[in-house]
Amino acid sequence: MIKRFAFLAAALVAAPLSAGVATQKYDWNPVNGIQEVHVESDHVVVSSLEFDMGDRLKPLKASSAKAVARVDNNGFLAYEVGVAIVVFDADGNVVAAGSGGSKVGYLSKGERDTFAIRFPYVYRGLENAKTFLVTLETRDKGGSKSRSPKPTSVP
């Protein structure tokens, strides 16, 4: 019984991780709404953000504020991609937050795409932005299916 657990533990440790994450902090400095960034995980790169301060939508009282992220897959695998942005004022208060991801499930190798990160409800202090965090999360298309050990029957 102990050998079985040791084998399972060794197999799980030996299996390469199929997900990555990277976070970078930037000073708020968009020029004509565009700010160059470089956040990279698994050869997938968020290279620019185009901020749109948006308008208030009535009667929902939500916002159309968003950032459009440009993401390049410079690797050799297809990846599911997620991006989160959190914007802070000078006192460290969150003034906007949102997330988005690849539109069609994954970003193929060598492909570039853009997608919107919306700030529908946490946006009211966006004009006071001083810094922001960008988090990029990647997972190869095969995910855990291709990386997990195959089940074996135990007598």
For 108-131, how does the pLDDT look when each residue is reduced to its tens digit (9 = 90+)? 999 999 989 998 878 788 889 999
48: Cα separation from own chain's centroid:
13
Q: What is the model's pLDDT at position 148?
A: 40
Give the residue extent of every domain in the chain.
17-143
pLDDT at 150 over 70: no
Q: What is the model's pLDDT at position 126?
A: 87
3-state secondary structure of 126: helix
Structurally, at CATH architecture level, domain 17-143 sits in: Sandwich (2.60)
Cα–Cα dist 79/44, whole Å = 8
Q: What is the model's pLDDT at position 153?
A: 52
Measured in residues, the chain has a length of 155
Backbone phi and psi for residue 5, each to the nearest 5 degrees, phi listed first? -65, -40
- pTM, full prediction: 0.76
With vertex at residue 62, the alpha carbon angle to CA 57 and CA 64, rounded to the nearest 5 degrees, is 65
